[in-house]
Amino acid sequence: MRQQVVDRYLIVRLSGVGCLLRLAEVVEVCKQIADQVDWQRADLSVGIVGSFNFRNASIPVVNPTLQLGLESGCSREDQAALVLSGAEGHWALLVDEVDGIAQASNFVACEIPLLLKNSISGYYSEIVLYRGEPMIVLEQDRFYGISVEVS
């Protein structure tokens, strides 16, 4: 059973861009969370946009579009939060949409073009193809506990 989870990815979208998270890293997918987030408790310098009440504990909410230089494609009310298990405890990642789950075998690893390596190297290191669409693999440690360069 454990093996099946490790081999699966959650597909989410940020500004229409397909992104993958290893399912084993996802604790829970929470939808319609706008009312449960204290947006005043933000620290944009590290990408934290608020604090989310999850299982009677406040956990930081990170908006990855700040780090990735994207503009969120939907309103806060329509966003979902992925609760992830990190080295410092639980935290939440805001996404525009949750598309579903797919087996790792459905993704084709893709070489990153030489001309793109410099500009994307600080943000992600894997591009895969899924049904002919390029998607990036989100790596937890690039989004939480780091300084964010907001563009």
Partner 1 sequence: VSRFGLFSLQRVDYAVPLARLRKVLHQPRVHLLPRLPRELPRVVVADGGVVPVVDLLCKAETESQLSAPEYLILVDSECGPLALPADTTCGIVAEQKGTRSVTGEEGSPWWCGSFHYQNKTFQILDIDVLAIGLTQECPVLDPDSEGARRNQ
Q: Which residues bind partner 1 (CB under 8 A)?
A: 14-17, 68-70, 108, 110-116, 118-120, 122-124, 127, 129, 132-134, 136
User: Smallest distance, Å, CB 130 to partner 1?
Assistant: 10
138-131-85 Cα angle (round to 5): 25
Nearer to partner 1, 59 or 148 (CB): 148
Nearer to partner 1, 17 or 98 (CB): 17
User: Smallest distance, Å, CB 40 to partner 1?
Assistant: 27
- The helix (H) or strand (E) run that includes residue 37 is strand 37-38
For 101, the token pair is: 């789950």
Write the burial class of residue 117 (CB in 10 Å: 0-12 exposed, 13-18 middle, 19+ buried).
exposed
Nearer to partner 1, 67 or 79 (CB): 67
User: Smallest distance, Å, CB 5 to partner 1?
Assistant: 26
Beta bridge partners of 151: none
User: Smallest distance, Å, CB 148 to partner 1?
Assistant: 13
Contact (CB, 8 A) for 7 and 104: yes
Nearer to partner 1, 38 or 133 (CB): 133
User: Smallest distance, Å, CB 9 to partner 1?
Assistant: 17
Q: Are strands 97-103 and 127-130 parallel, antiparallel or unpaired?
A: unpaired
Nearer to partner 1, 57 or 109 (CB): 109
User: Mapping DSSP to helix (H, G, I), strand (E, B) and coil, where does residue 145 land?
Assistant: coil
